[in-house]
Amino acid sequence: MQVTTGDVTLSEAYWNKASTAATLQVTVHNTGTTAQRVRLSYTLPAGLTDAGTKGCAAVGGGAYRCGAWSTEAGVRFSTVLRLRVAGTAWKEMPLSGSVQVIADAPGVPGEATDDQGFAVLFPPGPPVPGITLAADEVAFDISGSPSTLTLRLGNTGRVDAAGRVEVVLPAGVTVSAPPLGCVAVDPTRTRCDAGLMLAGTTAEVRLPVEATPQAQREAPLSGAVIGQLDPSSGPTRRVQMSFRITSAAALATPVVSPPAPTGSQGVLQAGGATGDGGLTSVERTAVILIAVSTLLVVLALTLATTSLRRRLGGPPPEPAPNPAD
């Protein structure tokens, strides 16, 4: 069983509302070889509540539980969770939630489980003139090696200002080696001085980040960055935004097997990888059957063509009589 999610992405309109309606796309895939009964649940971070998703009810602590569905082997289906984001939720960023599925099959012991996180992505704000802020997505490849977070702080005002950015990362994700001008405030927070920024210029900060295997399995996650400009005259300008953290490990295809506890995000278990490009047993069987069927069709066509040619050619000619006889 595998579950995948989208993200809760908010537009600039968020800053003008007391609360904002949002949706979260959830896709469930029965990757097993038998029909299963699936139960879905999800946990929302602070500032987010369910806005009336049909068939789901709150169970406390930001958690919600939905009804059960029956799904045949190989079937994939999607649903949409209806959410509401409070106008003050941005103060708690970075925000992430999670979705979990639990499945069981009649007569088969054990359960199949999978879960995936989702990020709540806020645009830069609250809007302040004279400052811009941008952050690129952080992506960890299948090896889990460290990645890079790139930030850009812009001084769009008319006065020079001292620039500073502060990065807040979720649990399990850290700045591995703060570069010159940056310092770790605590395990999840790093502060960098951008120096004096002339009016109309942009400073770029690149931070090496790493994530534990557990954090990578829980991706996508979100981090937050706070940008600040202190001009030589005038008030301090400050904005913040969130950015997405993804991992290839969280998207790995799970091994097809009878219902049993599985790794989060369908990560391949040790010894579970195959040498055929990651095909499941069902896919391998289908490929073999298609190949055999193709060979049989080719053989039948060959035999039919040979027979037809013989008929069209008629009997072989009789030998010509010898003139000497």
pLDDT value at position 36? 92
Confidence at residue 87, expressed as pLDDT on a 0 to 100 scale: 96
Judged against a pLDDT cut of 70, whether residue 292 lies above it is answered with no
Residue type, 95: L
pLDDT of residue 262: 32
More confident residue, 293 or 126: 126
Secondary structure string (H, E, C) spanning the chain = CEEEECCEECCHHHHHCCEEEEEEEEEEECCCCCCEEEEEEEECCCCEEECCCCCEEEEECCEEEEEEEEECCCCEEEEEEEEEEECCHHHHCCEEEEEEEEEECCCCCCCEEEEEEEEEECCCECCCCCEEEEECCEEECCCCCCEEEEEEEEECCCCCEEEEEEEECCCCEEECCCCCCEEEEECCEEEEEEEEECCCCEEEEEEEEEECHHHHHHCCEEEEEEEEEEECCCCCEEEEEEEEEEEHHHHCCCCCCCCCCCCHHHCCCCCCCCCCCCCCHHHHHHHHHHHHHHHHHHHHHHHHHHHHHHHHHCCCCCCCCCCCC
Q: Residue 52's pLDDT is what?
A: 92
The dihedral region occupied by 19, where left means phi > 0, alpha psi between -120 and 50, and beta the remainder, is beta
- Please tell me the predicted confidence (pLDDT) of residue 244: 95
d(C-alpha 47, C-alpha 84), whole Å: 8
What pTM was computed for the model?
0.72
Quote the pLDDT of residue 107: 83
The CA distances from residue 233 to 158, 161, 227, in Å, are 10, 9, 18
Structure confidence at residue 149 as a pLDDT band (50, 70, 90): very high
- Say what the pLDDT of residue 309 is: 54
Q: Which of 4-13, 230-239, 282-291 has the lowest mean pLDDT?
A: 282-291
Among 141-155, 193-207, 282-296, the range scoring the smallest mean pLDDT is: 282-296
Q: Is 116 within 8 Å of 6 (Cβ atoms)?
A: no
CB 57 within 8 A of CB 67: no
pLDDT of residue 167: 97
* Predicted confidence (pLDDT) per residue in 231-284, tens digit: 988 899 999 999 999 988 766 544 433 333 333 333 222 223 333 444 444 445
Which tokens hold the place of 29? 């895939």
- Over residues 160-181, the mean pLDDT reads 94
Residue 295's pLDDT band, with cuts at 50, 70 and 90, is: low
Each residue of 65-92: pLDDT tens digit? 998 889 999 999 899 999 999 999 999 9
**What average pLDDT does this structure show over 38-51?**
96
Q: Which of 269, 235, 242 is nearest to 254 (CA)?
A: 269
Residue-level pLDDT at 142: 86
Return the number of other C-beta atoms located less than 10 Å from residue 55's C-beta.
11
Average pLDDT for the chain: 83
The reported pLDDT for the residue numbered 294 is 61
